[in-house]
Copies of this chain bind each other. A is one copy, B any other.
Amino acid sequence: MMLDSETKAVELPEDHGTELRLWLRLLTCTTLIEGEVRSRLRERFDVTLPRFDLMAQLDKVPDGMTLSDLSKRMMVSNGNVTGLVERLVESGHLDRRTSETDRRVQFIRLTKLGRAEFRKMAAEHETWIADVFADLSRKDISELMRLLAKTKASAQRSAKARTP
Contacts and interface: CB of A to CB of B under 8 A. Distances in A.
Interface residues of A, number: 56
B144 A151 contact: yes
A155 B36 CA distance: 9
Interface string A56-68: 0000000000000
A143 B156 CA distance: 21
The CB with the most chain B CB atoms within 10 A, among A19, A34, A141, is that of A19
Given A75-B35, A158-B36, A22 B151 contact: no
B151 A133 contact: yes
Contacts of A144: 22, 26, 144, 147-148, 151
A40 interface: yes
A132 B158 contact: yes
A20 B128 CA distance: 9
Quick one: copies of this chain in the complex?
2
A104 interface: no
Nearest to A76: B31
Given A34-B27, A159-B36, A153 B127 contact: no
Contacts of A132: 19, 23, 154-155, 158
A130 B21 CA distance: 10
